[in-house]
């Protein structure tokens, strides 16, 4: 039965098990062998990262065609406006094309662990939190989206992937689950009716 690990990846950790430069990796937090990350989370981002020991499940989670919903909390520079939220909901023009519409809402209060190191804040400029739910997986997409509407991301935390949620996991903590998956049904194929043979008429 496939197993999956839910890890709260800390800031400054690579989403891989080795690094020639000696930076922190998943090996510093996951003692189990045979698990691989299903998708990635940027070095400077935090939150939920899924790992599995099943190649088919890894493909299902990470493949772009699956378009699995990903929920992020982004701390942005400035007091985000309704107009900016509306732009995020309709899609944002980026260098690699227009994004799909996202679910976006302002978060009044956020109860999260302190980041190490803390973000660099400017005393004269406030910050605010926004929740974004996207179904794409472009490189640094959330950061580029908030910057495109005028509110650069200072801190980014992934809270959920599909039905898997971070819940109470603290940075560096993980929990494992078993995945119950039924075999996929075979695709239905229409069978062609037998072709009638044209018999020669009598007298021909």
CA 144 vs. chain centroid, Å, equals 15
Active site residue 167: no
- Tell me the β-bridge partners of 127: 77
Catalytic residue from among 19, 28, 42, 167: 42
Residue numbers annotated as active site: 42
């Amino acid at each position: 039965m496939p197993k999956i690990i839910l890890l709260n990846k800390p800031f400054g950790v690579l989403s891989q098990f080795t690094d020639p430069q000696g930076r922190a990796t998943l090996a510093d937090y996951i003692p189990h062998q045979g698990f691989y990350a299903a998708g990635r989370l940027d070095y400077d981002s935090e939150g939920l990262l899924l790992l599995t020991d099943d190649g088919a499940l890894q493909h299902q989670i990470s493949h772009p065609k699956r378009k699995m919903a990903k929920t992020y909390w982004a701390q942005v520079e400035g007091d985000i406006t309704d107009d900016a939220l509306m732009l995020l909901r309709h899609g944002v023009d980026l260098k690699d094309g227009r994004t799909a519409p996202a679910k976006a809402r302002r978060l009044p209060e956020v109860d999260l662990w302190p980041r190490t190191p803390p973000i660099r804040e400017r005393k004269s400029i406030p910050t605010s939190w926004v929740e974004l739910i996207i179904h794409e997986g472009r490189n640094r997409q959330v950061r580029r989206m908030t910057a495109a509407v005028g509110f650069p991301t200072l801190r980014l935390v992934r809270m959920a992937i599909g039905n898997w949620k971070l819940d109470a996991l603290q940075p560096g903590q993980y929990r494992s689950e078993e995945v119950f998956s039924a075999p996929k049904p075979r695709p239905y194929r229409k069978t062609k009716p037998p072709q009638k043979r044209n018999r020669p008429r009598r007298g021909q």
